[in-house]
Amino acid sequence: MINRAPNILVFDSGIGGISVYDEIRQKIPNANYIYLFDNEAFPYGDKSIDYLIGRVKSVIHKAISLFSIDIIVIACNTASTICLPSLRESLQIPIVGVVPAIKPATKVTKNKCIGLLATKATVQREYTRNLINEFAQGYNIELLGLSELALIAEQKLQGIAVNQQQLTLLMQPWLTLNVIPDTIVLGCTHYPFIKPELAKTFPLATFIDSGYAIATRVYNLLEQCNFELTNISQPAEKADHLVCSTQYNESVEKIIPILSKYNFNKYQSISILCD
Ligand code: DGL
């Protein structure tokens, strides 16, 4: 059995993956964390599949060359729905991805109308279509792919208030439906940050994200890798919490003090040369 603290890499295009990191940290507070975001290429939601497969591979391989990592979490639906096979092919380290929580939503909905809110890219993916075909036969699945929402969430985390009117306007395609979804899947890791505002627009809906399920999966996989998670020798206060981005800019400067609320105390910029 291994009783040292595992080193967990959590990756996203932006700060959305912090919502997933936060769930994992609650489950495994003594672990060491590296949160890496590819702000140089943000947003992923408007990038081509080929570009993203190459880009994510380059960024993750770079991280592996710099840090000792026991498990990788691709905390981005847009990337996970296309990048996992090529990453798993090229790496021996366990990789956990995040995909829209369609299946759990079918257990919650009463009116059988489920809304999937995600990036434009995620709603168009074959992976997403297959998820719906496999787990949501007989349910009415309304897809809404938006490019603005991830940025709105990024801005909220930087202290810029969400414009509720603008948000409600973006939701018009659902607000004008005969049957409005009673269950809304947050299919982008940025969206849990704007759940309070989304709930104002859809006060009767239940919102579902994948954070808790991912944290459970990470826990189980680490146990399978012989980590004795209930007996980690390092106390939580001693754990490393490093945040990295692929570009240092003004937004990063603003976000660093905010991320200290999530226990991050160190920052490193990582440059990606080959895309
Ligand atoms: N957080 C990412 C996701 O879960 C997407 C944001 C982006 O467009 O880069 O899909």
pLDDT in tens, 30-74: 999 999 999 999 999 999 999 999 999 999 999 999 999 999 999
Residues in CB range of 208: below 8 A, 6 or more apart:
101, 104, 105, 108, 183, 184, 185, 186
pTM of the predicted structure, to 2 decimals: 0.96
Domain boundaries for CATH 3.40.50.1860 within the chain: 7-98+211-269, 102-208
Annotated active-site residue 225? The verdict is: no
How far apart are the C-alpha atoms of 255 and 20, rounded to whole Å?
17
What pLDDT is recorded for position 219?
Answer: 98
Mean pLDDT, all residues of the chain: 96
Annotated active-site residue 188? The verdict is: yes
Note the pLDDT tens digit of each residue in 207-254: 999 999 999 999 999 999 999 999 898 999 999 999 999 999 999 999
- Domain 102-208 is in which class? alpha beta
Q: How far is the CA of 99 from the centre of ligand 1 (A)?
A: 11
CATH 3.40.50.10420 fits 7-98+211-269, yes or no: no
- Residue written as tokens 């990606």? 272
Strands across the sheet containing 266-269: 95-97, 71-74, 7-12, 32-37, 241-245, 266-269
Nearest ligand 1 atom to the CA of 122 is 10
- Residue written as tokens 């905010």? 258
What pLDDT is recorded for position 3?
Answer: 86
What pLDDT is recorded for position 93?
Answer: 97
